[in-house]
Amino acid sequence: MKRQVYLSMKSLEEAKSLFFSRFGPDHKTGISSVKAEESDGRITAEPVFARRSAPSYHASAMDGIAVKAEQTYGATERLPMTLALETDAVWVNTGQPLSKSFNAVIMIEDVHMIDDGHVEIRSSAYPWQHVRKVGEDIVATQLLFPQNHSIRAYDIGALISGGVFSVNVRKRPRVAIIPTGSELIRHEDISPGETLDEGRIVEYNARVLAGLVRESGGIPVVHDIVSDSEKEIKGVLHKYVDSEADVIIINAGSSAGSKDFTVHAIGEMGEVLVHGVAMMPGKPTILGIVKGKPVIGNPGYAVSAALSFEQFVKPILYALQGVSPPPKPTVEVQPTRDIPSKVGTEEFLRVNIGMVGERYVATPLARAAGSITTLTRAEGIIRIPALSEGISQGQKVIAELLVNEEDLKNTVVIIGSHDMAIDVLGDEVRRNRGGVRISSGNVGSLGGLLAIRKGTCHMAGSHLLDTETGEYNISYIKRYIPNMDVTVFHLVLRDQGLIVNRGNPKHIKGIQDLSQDDVVFVNRQAGSGTRVLFDYKLNQAGLSSDAVKGYDHEEFTHMAVAVDILSGAADCGMGIHAAAKALDLDFVPIEQEQYDLIVPTRMLDQPNIQATLNAMRSDNFRKRVVALGGYDPSRSGERFAEVKSG
């Protein structure tokens, strides 16, 4: 089949303008009546007026006595006044109606009992003192809420108090979600632990989109998986266009591939407004109209699907209900490193954010459009304009928050070498101190030391071997952080070695075997402690980098190395034992190395830092790390060294 091309690539703003301009202010869902007590979160379809006053009678606002204010004039401490109960005054409780003959209340604390029939007062009252008059809160016929008002929990009290027991609201927009792809399989059809056949993919985008629809006040209707067939896609699209669906999302059939029939189905049944948006992720988005209803061809990659929804579906859902999407909270952040970007495409970059000193710092996460964990791990999103070549690390930019800003103030930012024990540490800190979070960025050991020097993290993870002394980290700290006092804490001893496929089919026994013609290696990035160790061992074995096939193929984490081996992209890679064990791969031990956390000494008294160090020292943390395999955490949290500036 002939491969398609994008029909009309548009900038993000052009695409929004074309799409949203076709759905004016009158394009709203219908009206339904709901009980007042069930109306929270709903949008009023018309003005709501009070049907009764509240209170509907003059009521006492205090416990005490009801009196005629005029009769009390002249009462003072020196000239107290005696009142006869039942005639001059009556006892009342808070909320109790006042008879028409009384117009003020004196608090019980200011009333002195004389006998069963008389009380004494020592100050006069004024008319309507401590009295809630008719309509003090709500007056019958007054406007309670205008149309297009989002009803909140305490608004329900005003509705019921004002005699409005049911309210007309906008119907929740119904959104049909149609997952497409012959390779997809429902998660309900898979047993726990079952291995999928090659080429099969578990469909979850529809469930993510359904959750986003609910967050936007809509009702998701998820269709069964539709195979890659233009006829089938058109049939399902017909069904929902002719039903009560207000919006239709076709997921995964929206790129320029040879099997993407969505654009043809929309074009034949209606009108394609946009085929391709200059945004990343989310480029393959299709925007169209069929029988007056918005139809969105949503990209198949998870992050692309979510960001496309945020830009195009979410605004439509709120507009159908007569309101605008709530503004997203933002903060000003400074990137921890330079971030290049492609000119001509607006990029949505997922980042970790934490407060270091008096500023927020942002560490970029992987840009992979298919990695849903870059959204689950992210604290924010930075938008890089289409005309920008990127962001420099000294530049301040705005980040949209995906978490509460208060969470950022309780985030410990750890940048440096990747280690699985850091993930365990983050979970332990959350367990022991629920408000403290760990945000980690994997840039290699040297990158972590540089982040400490630049003041963009609280801790750096490092395992840099001094090949001359055999010592870890100290000489590098003195070289790269010469003007700062830092304290080094021991995290773990860990086994580094060669990760190989199960059964070690290439019979790799050590570094010297990497020169074999049939062995493909995967390396760690320059500046990482693992790379330093590997180069040292390579030199000890008398081998040059040119002798290792794949030496220039780099990954940024131990798990990425293990995945390359599991997938067949490489036969062998340098990494930790725990990564091999996690993916059921074999391991050839090479070295037990020291992994430390480096902390600026001035930060040691911070409560979040102390909480992290305490978690490192806990028995539970050590037990969990041992279970990963290849670790010795017996000295975790131990103060290893203090390195003074100069």
Name the segment(s) of the chain with CATH classification 2.40.340.10. Answer: 330-409
| pLDDT interval class at 3 (50, 70, 90) | very low
Q: What is the mean pLDDT of residues 406-414?
A: 91
Token pair, residue 282, equals 């989310």
**pLDDT value for 255:** 53
484 φ/ψ angles, rounded to the nearest 5 degrees: -145, 140
- What value does the CA radius of gyration of the chain take, rounded to a whole number of Å? 34
* 378 touches 396 (CB < 8 A): no
Q: What is the mean pLDDT of residues 246-274?
A: 82
pLDDT digits (tens, 9 = 90+) for 211-259: 999 999 999 999 999 998 889 999 999 999 999 899 999 998 655 554 5
Residue 18's H or E segment, with its range, is helix 12-20
The CATH number, out of the four listed (3.30.70.100, 3.40.50.300, 3.90.105.10, 3.40.50.12160), of the domain defined by the range 31-54+136-170: 3.90.105.10
Higher pLDDT, 89 or 369: 89
**pLDDT value for 411:** 92
* Phi-psi group of 213: left, alpha or beta (phi > 0 → left; psi -120 to 50 → alpha; rest → beta): alpha
CA dist 572 and 216 (Å) reads: 47
Token pair, residue 465, equals 């071997």
CA dist 167 and 43 (Å) reads: 10
**pLDDT value for 373:** 85
Quote the mean pLDDT of the chain: 92
CA dist 45 and 568 (Å) reads: 59
DSSP tag of 109? G
**pLDDT value for 254:** 54
pLDDT digits (tens, 9 = 90+) for 54-79: 999 999 999 999 999 999 999 999 99
The three-state secondary structure class of 193 is coil
CA dist 268 and 237 (Å) reads: 11
Q: Is the pLDDT of residue 267 over 70?
A: yes
* 27 touches 160 (CB < 8 A): no
Q: Is the pLDDT of residue 260 over 80?
A: no
Q: What is the mean pLDDT of residues 456-481?
A: 93
How close are the terminal C-alpha atoms of the chain, in Å?
68
Fold adopted by 12-26+173-320: Molybdenum Cofactor Biosythetic Enzyme; Chain A (3.40.980)
CATH superfamily, domain at 330-409 = MoeA, C-terminal, domain IV (2.40.340.10)
- The CA–CA distances, whole Å, from 311 to 16, 277, 314, 315, 348 equal 8, 11, 7, 7, 11
* 103 touches 68 (CB < 8 A): yes
Q: In CATH, what is the architecture of 428-643?
A: 3-Layer(aba) Sandwich (3.40)
Task: Please name the residue ranges forming H helices in 128-204.
Answer: 153-161
Which is nearest to 619 in space by CA: 472, 431, 418, 411? 431
Q: Is the pLDDT of residue 273 over 90?
A: yes
Q: Is the pLDDT of residue 2 over 50?
A: no
Concatenating the DSSP letter of every residue in 207-237 gives HHHHHHHHHTT-EEEEPPPB-S-HHHHHHHH
CA dist 558 and 537 (Å) reads: 18
**pLDDT value for 28:** 93
Q: What is the bridge-based pairing of β-strands 118-121 and 111-115? A: antiparallel
- The CA–CA distances, whole Å, from 183 to 252, 578, 627 equal 11, 32, 36
Name the segment(s) of the chain with CATH classification 2.170.190.11. Answer: 59-132
**pLDDT value for 511:** 96
**pLDDT value for 338:** 86
- The CA–CA distances, whole Å, from 238 to 248, 265, 268, 272 equal 10, 10, 11, 16
Name the segment(s) of the chain with CATH classification 3.90.105.10. Answer: 31-54+136-170
SS3 string, 308-323, reads: HHHHHHHHHHHHHCCC
Residue 296's H or E segment, with its range, is strand 293-298
Q: What is the mean pLDDT of residues 564-581?
A: 95
| pLDDT interval class at 198 (50, 70, 90) | confident
Token pair, residue 300, equals 């198949």
DSSP tag of 72? G
| pLDDT interval class at 635 (50, 70, 90) | very high
The three-state secondary structure class of 339 is strand
**pLDDT value for 4:** 47
The three-state secondary structure class of 620 is helix
Token pair, residue 491, equals 């995290």
pLDDT digits (tens, 9 = 90+) for 298-309: 998 999 999 999
Residues with Cβ within 8 Å of 327's Cβ and at least 6 positions away in sequence, in order, are none
The gap from C-alpha 469 to its chain's centroid, in whole angstroms, comes to 45
CATH superfamily, domain at 59-132 = Molybdopterin biosynthesis moea protein, domain 3. (2.170.190.11)
**pLDDT value for 253:** 61
Token pair, residue 192, equals 């726990």
CA dist 298 and 275 (Å) reads: 11
Contacts 24+ apart (CB under 8 A), 453-456: 453/480, 453/481, 453/484, 454/336, 454/393, 455/356, 455/357, 456/334, 456/336, 456/356, 456/361, 456/363, 456/393, 456/413, 456/415
Which is nearest to 10 in space by CA: 321, 252, 380, 283? 283
**pLDDT value for 259:** 57
pLDDT digits (tens, 9 = 90+) for 342-375: 889 999 999 989 999 889 999 888 887 778 888 8
Concatenating the DSSP letter of every residue in 542-607 gives T--GGGSTTTT-EESSHHHHHHHHHHTS-SEEEEEHHHHHHTT-EEEEEEEEEEEEEEEGGGTTSH
Name the segment(s) of the chain with CATH classification 3.40.980.10. Answer: 12-26+173-320
Q: Is the pLDDT of residue 606 over 80?
A: yes
Q: Is the pLDDT of residue 22 over 60?
A: yes
Q: How many residues would you count in the chain? A: 646
Share of the chain above pLDDT 90, in %: 79
Q: Is the pLDDT of residue 564 over 70?
A: yes
Q: What is the bridge-based pairing of β-strands 397-401 and 330-335? A: antiparallel
Q: Is the pLDDT of residue 1 over 60?
A: no
Q: Is the pLDDT of residue 8 over 70?
A: no
